Structure 1
Amino acid sequence: MRKWTNLVSKFVLRLTIMSQPAFDPQNPDLAPPQASVAQMSAAGLRAFFNIARDWELTIDEQLVLLGSPGRSTFFKWKASPGSARLPRDTLERLSLLLGIYKALQILLPQPAAADAWVKRPNDAAPFGGKRALDRMLAGNVGDLVAVRQYLDAMRGGWA
């Protein structure tokens, strides 16, 4: 089911992009619409909470990955992602986490294996025998970047 959803999402995204006019600097009115902070916040939080479910993250782990917002703020975001207006740091974290999740789905096409990867000890250089989740839970954006770069390199992309 997840594979089908991903394929449909990619198809819809491509159709949306293809149906938009090319950007013409002479006519800024034709510029592609930019997602608002509210739209990015809502979409990012919905995706994050699905990832948290798939990875079986505790509330405390979710808080750290989101940049340690207050607990009441976190529960407001969870109850009503559509009304959230996330700070730039949190949006960046969500972007990195979505990239990590996507890379795992590509590298490990079986959802259970992809979801379990973050909790398995890893001897690769960025992890030093610890779990990728432990690295991500160090609390710094740079740690999320390190995991994302490692997975991108494993996919054969840019590191």
Structure 2
Amino acid sequence: MPKEIIEIQSSPEASRVVLPVIFDILSKWSFTIDDQLIILGFKEEKVLRDCMEAPEKVELTMDLIERVSLILGIFRSLEIVLPAPHIADAWLNTPNENSVFKGVPPKSHLLSGSIDDLAAVRDFLSYQEHQ
């Protein structure tokens, strides 16, 4: 688990602010609606659409808070380690031989649906920040 988790609490204000940011990040990373379902741990597209249309009505579960925190951490780290957006996007899509990724693009880990894989990408980037 990352050493630094961005504090997010469930409230209408938190949902209203953080969810649009998350959808913007996932869009910048070229994740489809189906991809976003997986990354955010949603089972139904209707739930995702409701979150997009009325984020202030969404109660952030602990699972969603953790996923959102990890996505924000990954985004922040990418901005530090690879400040040019096109390079960060390319990194997400390029097969990586590091033992964390085992020859697959980091994006594949984000699409596994596992919080552990989101955390692995976050931890890897956090480590790179401090090198």
Larger of the two Rg values belongs to structure:
1
Please name the residue that 2:61 is paired with: 87
Match for residue 112 of structure 1 among 86, 105, 110:
86
Instruction: Tell me the distance in 1 between the aligned counterparts of 2:58 and 2:10.
Output: 12
Structure 1 gap ranges (5+): 1-33
1:63/1:155 Cα in 2 relative to 1: closer, same or farther (>3 Å)?
Answer: same
Match for residue 65 of structure 1 among 9, 20, 39:
39
Per-residue deviation at 1:77? 0.5
Please list every run of at least 4 consecutive aligned residues from structure 1 whose deviation after the TM superposition is greater than 4 angstroms.
none
Match for residue 122 of structure 1 among 52, 74, 96:
96
- Residue 103 (structure 2) pairs with residue 132 (structure 1): no
Normalising by structure 2, we get a TM-score of: 0.87
Deviations 1:134-156 (A, max 9, x none): 11211111111111000011111
Q: Which secondary structure state, in structure 2, belongs to the residue aligned with residue 128 of structure 1?
A: coil
Instruction: Tell me the distance in 1 between the aligned counterparts of 2:18 and 2:56.
Output: 10
Deviations 1:1-47 (A, max 9, x none): xxxxxxxxxxxxxxxxxxxxxxxxxxxxxxxxx95532222222111
Q: Kindly report the root-mean-square deviation, in angstroms, between the aligned alpha carbons of the 2 structures.
A: 1.7
Instruction: Tell me the distance in 1 between the aligned counterparts of 2:120 and 2:113.
Output: 12
Normalising by structure 1, we get a TM-score of: 0.72
Could you tell me the percent identity over the aligned residues?
A: 35
Q: Answer 1 or 2: higher relative contact order, Cα 8 Å, separation at least 6.
A: 2
Instruction: Tell me the distance in 2 between the aligned counterparts of 1:113 and 1:144.
Output: 20
Is residue 55–residue 116 contact of structure 1 (8 Å, CA) maintained in 2?
no
Structure 2 gap ranges (5+): 1-7
Deviations 1:53-85 (A, max 9, x none): 110111111000101232111101011212211
- Residue 15 (structure 2) pairs with residue 41 (structure 1): yes
Q: Mean Cα displacement is larger for which, 131-140 or 87-96?
A: 131-140
Deviations 1:85-137 (A, max 9, x none): 12110111000001001100101111111123211111111111101111121
Instruction: Tell me the distance in 2 between the aligned counterparts of 1:84 and 1:36.
Output: 9
